[in-house]
Structure 1
Amino acid sequence: MEGGSSDAPISTPSHQAATAPSPPPPPYSLPPSLFMPEDILFCIDIGPESLTEMRVSGPKGRGVTRLDAIKQALLLFAHSKLNMCTDHRFSFSSLGKSFSWVKREFSNDIKSVTEAVRYLTIPEAPVEGTDITKLFEFANFEARRSHAQGRLFRVVLIYCRSSALPKHRWPVNQKTFTMDVMYLHDKPGPDNCPQKVYDALVDAVEHVSQYEGYVFEIGQGMTRVLFRHVCVLLAHPTQRCMQDDFDVPKAIVKRVPPGGGEGTQSDDSMIIST
């Protein structure tokens, strides 16, 4: 060894455990902070790709489009969030050629929320724009009003375009709201670049988000994956871990029956994917 030799054994975790019991890990604790109810602005992509069918059928075999599933997910989110705290409020907008309001007034009335969700439709005119600068401008304006009332402001963007990268012109030093993204997309192909779109969405979140923002993608077209991610977004931004550290839901491990002999699979080898 450098600096001279020694006959003393090298101290390792296993050696320390054999000589003295290690102290228990400290209990998890969340730093105390003032709880702020949320004002959540949903922005839903109503481009033509929102009409792509999901991998599940509705009543009587009717196809379920992405927009149909998104509407169900929004109602699931609103009901669940209000069950957690009735002071949360919601507003709704859409992204067609540009940002536009569906229901600007924030409300915690579930009937008002349901009406706004049902109002979401696909326009007949072609949709080509992908600029989300207006979304950031209105979010910044509304966020200042929310902060003055002791509330936290969040944007949830639901994006469905597989070849059109979102664009914005927004200064780096303005982070007045938190942003989450749900990205529903097609498979990669000659006309699609979902990885580039996803990377652009991640960059946008990192550019504007005040607290940890989550970005989830759904490329399998499965409604249960969409609903699962929406449930994760129920987490309050001030109480979140980093998305890279997030490992919920856990895989379900099938246990080996008692007395399982040689040749049976171990606990770690039989994983049922969720």
Structure 2
Amino acid sequence: MEGIEGERSNKGEGNSSRYSLQPLRINNEDILLCIDIDPQSMVEMKAATAPNGRPFTRLDAIKQAIILFVNAKLTINPQHRFAFATLSNSVSWLRKEFSSEVESTIAAMRALSATTASSQPDLTNLFRLAAHEAKKSRMQGRILRVILFYCRSTVRPQHQWPVNQKLFTLDVMYLHDKPGPDNCPQEVYDTLVEALEHVTEYEGYILESGQGLARVVFRHMLILLSHPQQRCVQEFIDIPKSLAKKAPQVEPMATEDIVPVSSQ
């Protein structure tokens, strides 16, 4: 975006002063999507079934949301790129090379499956990996963003990361169960918020849902389409708008003036 210059005149003083708008460049994004493959990612969603008739799980919803997200981001800007990783106890690459091809995303989602068991996850390797990729992105005039999908209601993640090292933006999508004797989603959420604030460069968003509805996941992904360099703080978000039904307004019937008709 080019800078804008102009003149501002002070007629009373007979002089003029210069004003300018500093150039602002919105960088293309490299987006690393990291998906939690803990067994809790296989919790069934409500009111939804997969095409083959089997139950529709959190992982299924995440896969569809990612494909929709990538298609939408590339429609906005075909220069964005995407890579994929999984989170079990630690982080592993699912598709390391950043790509702008939708087919690459679809192939990664087909290869994605849940693990049979996992313990407390460590996000340190995710942050270390992201910092390494962020430096490579910056050398190309790009910025890196990480979107973490977390599905555990019983286990809080841990990490060790320097406070003053913020090289990438972190977003979190948290899908969880309702609170219960074995679940502590509020504690997990608070831990994720602390991690986000600890590492994120630009404004990072954390979005959560315990409703078990796929449409909520898709709606949250619409918010994550926003570019980190153009975001408001999360507290000011008022999108997407709710489609509240409004009672139709009844307009008064138009009345015509009665004109007397002469019999003569």
Please give the TM-score of this superposition, normalised by the length of structure 2: 0.84
Give the RMSD, CA atoms, in angstroms. Answer: 1.6
Distance 1:161 1:130 in 2: 10
**Counterpart residue number, 1:243:** 234
1:224 to 191, 208, 215: 215
**Counterpart residue number, 1:22:** none
The residue correspondences of 1:171-210 to structure 2 (distance < 5 A) are 171-210=162-201
Distance 1:71 1:252 in 2: 26
Distance 1:93 1:255 in 2: 47
**Counterpart residue number, 2:255:** none
**Counterpart residue number, 1:82:** 74
Q: For each residue in 1:126-149, what CA deviation from the matched residue of structure 2 results, as whole angstroms up to 9, or x when unmatched?
A: 211311000000000000000110
Which secondary structure state, in structure 1, belongs to the residue aligned with residue 163 of structure 2?
Answer: coil
- Look at both structures and tell me which one has the larger radius of gyration over its CA atoms: 2
Question: Are 1:36 and 2:15 counterparts?
Answer: no
Q: Identity of counterpart residues, as a percentage? A: 53
**Counterpart residue number, 1:18:** none
Which secondary structure state, in structure 2, belongs to the residue aligned with residue 117 of structure 1?
Answer: helix
> Is the alpha carbon distance of 1:248 and 1:31 closer, same or farther for their aligned partners in structure 2, counting shifts above 3 Å?
farther
- Of Structure 1 and Structure 2, the greater strand share is in 2
The runs of 4+ residues in structure 1 deviating greater than 6 Å are: none
1:116 to 91, 94, 108: 108
Q: For each residue in 1:206-264, what CA deviation from the matched residue of structure 2 results, as whole angstroms up to 9, or x when unmatched?
A: 1000000000001000000000001110100000100001111223341451359xxxx
Question: Are 1:49 and 2:62 counterparts?
Answer: no
Question: How many equivalent pairs are there?
Answer: 230
Q: For each residue in 1:46-69, what CA deviation from the matched residue of structure 2 results, as whole angstroms up to 9, or x when unmatched?
A: 000001000122336421011111
Distance 2:241 2:72 in 1: 21
Please give the TM-score of this superposition, normalised by the length of structure 1: 0.81
> Is the alpha carbon distance of 1:44 and 1:195 closer, same or farther for their aligned partners in structure 2, counting shifts above 3 Å?
same
Question: Are 1:93 and 2:107 counterparts?
Answer: no
Q: Which runs of 5+ in 2 are unaligned?
A: 1-20, 253-264
Distance 1:81 1:60 in 2: 28
Q: For each residue in 1:23-73, what CA deviation from the matched residue of structure 2 results, as whole angstroms up to 9, or x when unmatched?
A: xxxxxxx98510200000011000000010001223364210111111101
